[in-house]
Amino acid sequence: MIPQITLTTDRLTLRTPLEEDFAPVAAFMASPRARFVGGPVQDEFAQWRGFLSGFGHWALRGYGFFMVLHDGQKVGRVGVVNHVMWDEPELGWHIFDGFEGNGYATEASACVRDWAGAERGLGPLISYVHPENVASRRVAERLGATHERDRDLLGHPAQVWRHIRGPA
């Protein structure tokens, strides 16, 4: 069983994932919006395995992706992951189609960054950003992150952005 955690900002509610979140996550993973995070993935079983990896992070590491809600609508997911091939824990964000451009990624990511520092002792976190992903680079910049270095990640170029530490 994963912990039930809810965080709030002025506009958003962030909560640990539920099985009912699979449909919007699968839709994101199947869409062109997922091209910088290993997609698009059309195979439903592969989508399911990816979705379950989020639960595994919560169960094994005590952190993972939160579902982001605005006025009860699922607008994306933001969280911290540390896959076995990652250098260290990563702050990541996925905003669903139709909800981009509202500042949700920045607002939710700042909240999660600060929670991860205060509640899990993590940070300063990194974010992997594909060099062509201008929108994610702008989110990292708005969060105060700085470009630290470049690397190859799963056969693709990635920039490593270092975040400021959230509250301890």
Report yes or no on 167 lying in a domain. no
Predicted confidence at residue 166, as pLDDT, reads 61
Provide the residue range defining the domain that includes 140: 6-162
How many angstroms separate the CA atoms of 31 and 25, rounded?
10
Residue 103 belongs to some domain of the structure: yes
Asked whether residue 72 is domain-assigned, the answer is yes
pLDDT of residue 167: 55
| Domain total of the chain | 1
Euclidean distance between CA atoms 24 and 142, whole angstroms: 26
Residue 147 belongs to some domain of the structure: yes
**pLDDT, position 149:** 97
- Tell me which H or E stretch contains 96: none
Q: φ, ψ for residue 70 (rounded to 5)?
A: -125, 120
In a domain, 82, yes or no: yes
Instruction: Provide the residue-wise pLDDT of the chain in tens; the chain has 168 residues.
Output: 788 999 999 999 999 999 999 999 999 999 988 888 888 999 999 999 999 999 999 999 999 999 999 999 999 999 999 999 999 999 999 999 999 999 999 999 999 999 999 999 999 999 999 999 999 999 999 999 999 999 999 899 999 999 987 654
Report the distance separating Cα 47 and Cα 52, nearest Å.
Answer: 9
CA dihedral 45, 20, 119, 86 (to 10 degrees): 10
Residue 158 in domain: yes
Q: Is residue 1 in a domain?
A: no
**Is residue 17 situated within a structural domain?**
yes
CATH number where 15 lies? 3.40.630.30
